[in-house]
Copies of this chain bind each other. A is one copy, B any other.
Amino acid sequence: MKFSEINTPAVVIDRDIVERNIHRFQGYCVQNGIALRPHIKTHKIVELARLQIAAGAVGINCQKLGEAEVMAAHGLDNILITYNIIGETKLARLVALAAKISKLAVTADSDYTLQGLSAAFTKADKPLEVLVECDTGGMRCGVQAPGEAVEMAKRIAMLPGLVFGGLMTYPAKGGTSAVEAFMSSAQRSLQALGLPCRTITSGGTPDMWQAHEAPVVTEYRVGTYIYNDRSLVAGKNCGWDDCALSVLTTVVSTPAPGRAIIDAGSKALSSDLMGLDGYGEILGHPQVRITGLSEEHGHLEYPAGGGALQVGQRLKVIPNHACVVSNLFDRVNFVRKGRIEKVAPVDARGCCS
Chain A residues within CB distance 8 Å of chain B: 5-10, 41, 63-64, 83-84, 86-90, 109-110, 112-113, 116, 133, 135, 139-144, 250, 252-256, 259, 261, 263-268, 270-273, 294-297, 299, 310-312, 323-324, 327-330, 350, 352-353
Contacts and interface: CB of A to CB of B under 8 A. Distances in A.
Contacts of A327: 267, 295, 328
A89 B5 contact: yes
B311 A328 contact: no
Contact of A296 (B266, B328, B352): B352
Nearest to A111: B311
Q: Which of A64, A263, A297 has the most CB of B within 10 A?
A: A263
Given A41-B296, A270-B270, A270-B271, A7 B90 contact: yes
Contacts of A265: 352
A158 to B, nearest CB: 20
A226 to B, nearest CB: 15
Contacts of A90: 7
Contacts of A310: 112
Chain copies in the assembled complex: 2
B268 A271 contact: no
Contact of A353 (B9, B133, B295): B9
Nearest to A350: B330
A26 to B, nearest CB: 23
A135 B352 contact: no
B270 A110 contact: no
Contacts of A116: 312
Nearest to A223: B295
Given A64-B296, A266-B324, A86 B250 contact: yes
A264 to B, nearest CB: 8
Contacts of A253: 84, 109-110, 133, 140-142
A252 B106 CA distance: 13
Given A5-B88, A84-B252, A141-B297, 5 more contacts: A10-B353, A63-B296, A139-B259, A140-B297, A296-B352
Q: Which of A6, A259, A270, A310 has the most CB of B within 10 A?
A: A270
A302 to B, nearest CB: 15
B350 A311 contact: no
A328 B295 CA distance: 13
B8 A87 contact: yes
Contact of A266 (B10, B110, B141, B272): B272
B352 A86 contact: no
Nearest to A294: B140
A182 to B, nearest CB: 14
Contacts of A256: 135, 144
Contacts of A330: 350
Q: A-B pairs with the 5 shortest C-beta distances?
A: A141-B253, A112-B311, A7-B353, A271-B271, A84-B252
Given A140-B294, A324-B267, A8 B109 contact: no
Nearest to A148: B255
A353 B83 contact: no
Nearest to A84: B252
A84 B249 CA distance: 13
A63 B295 contact: yes
Contacts of A297: 140-141
